[in-house]
Structure 1
Amino acid sequence: MFKVIFRVTTEVRNTAGLREIKRAGFIPFMAKREGEEEVYEALYKSNDLEELREAITEAAYFLNKVNRKGGNNFATIYKVNDNYVGKGLGGLLGASLGLKLGGIPGLFIGAIGGLLLGEILDVELNETFVGVYSWPISIEQ
């Protein structure tokens, strides 16, 4: 699995960029705007680097259609090792706190919340830097 951080610039404030990232096959989990720059963090569920490069080019094409442009640091890529420690501990901790605070319904809600937080923790702690890709030149107008 790979984590990709996209950086694009645009003058328009809408969610079209996020939609196009999803359309390219990525699973976004964070989006923020810093001035005219939009930053998206997304996961890609594959271990093939060539497939990831094709998906990044496709994302650049889709983002270009909605007036987004990238630069030399368009896509920063991290390799994420699949671990289940964070999900297991998060689910167990969330379920036990949910049961203590909210009974049986709290058990289920706490377990789901703990699994989600554990997944984010696994991604953040088990990543290795792969590289930075610039905006594909063939897409520019």
Structure 2
Amino acid sequence: MFKVIFRVTSERRDTAGLAGIKRAGFIPCMSKRNGNEEIYATVYRTNDMEELREAITEAAFFLEKAGRKGGQNFATVFKVNDSYLGKGIGGVLGASLGLKLGGIPGLFIGALGGLLLGEVFDIELNETYAGVYTWPMSIGQ
């Protein structure tokens, strides 16, 4: 699995950039705007680097259609090692807290919330820097 952080510039304030990222197969985790710069933190489920490069080029194509431009630090890539420790601990803690506060329905809701929070912790703690990709030249012409 890979975590990719996209940085693009845009004059418009709409969600077309986020829709382009989703269309390319990335799962968005966070979206933020600083002035004219938009930052998207995403996850891509594959272990093949060539498939990831193709998906980044496809995302650049959809972002270009949405009126976004990238630069030298268009996509920062992190390799995420799959681990079940965070999901396991999060599920157990969420389920026990949900059972304590909400009974049987709270058990299921707490377990689901704990699994999701555990997944976020697994992604953040098990990442290794893999590189930075620039905006594809063929998209910019």
Is residue 2:80 matched to residue 1:80? Answer: yes
1:24 counterpart residue number: 24
Tell me the secondary structure at the aligned position of residue 104 of structure 1: helix
Alpha-carbon distance between aligned partners in 2 of 1:107 and 1:94, rounded to the nearest angstrom: 8
1:64 counterpart residue number: 64
**Offset at 1:101?**
0.6
1:94 counterpart residue number: 94
2:14 counterpart residue number: 14
1:48 counterpart residue number: 48
**Offset at 1:64?**
0.2
1:110 counterpart residue number: 110
Alpha-carbon distance between aligned partners in 1 of 2:14 and 2:40, rounded to the nearest angstrom: 13
**Offset at 1:99?**
0.3
**Offset at 1:43?**
0.7
Alpha-carbon distance between aligned partners in 2 of 1:76 and 1:122, rounded to the nearest angstrom: 18
**Offset at 1:84?**
0.4
Q: Scaled by the length of structure 2, what TM-score is found?
A: 0.99
Alpha-carbon distance between aligned partners in 2 of 1:128 and 1:81, rounded to the nearest angstrom: 8
Tell me the secondary structure at the aligned position of residue 32 of structure 2: strand
Letter in 1 for 2:113: G
Alpha-carbon distance between aligned partners in 1 of 2:104 and 2:9, rounded to the nearest angstrom: 47
Alpha-carbon distance between aligned partners in 1 of 2:113 and 2:122, rounded to the nearest angstrom: 14
Alpha-carbon distance between aligned partners in 2 of 1:101 and 1:119, rounded to the nearest angstrom: 23
Letter in 2 for 1:58: E
Q: Deviations over 1:14-46 (max 9, x none)?
A: 111111101001111111111111100111110
Q: Scaled by the length of structure 1, what TM-score is found?
A: 0.99
Percentage of matched positions with identical amino acids: 74
Q: Which runs of 5+ in 2 are unaligned?
A: none
* Root mean square deviation, CA, Å: 0.5
Alpha-carbon distance between aligned partners in 2 of 1:14 and 1:98, rounded to the nearest angstrom: 37
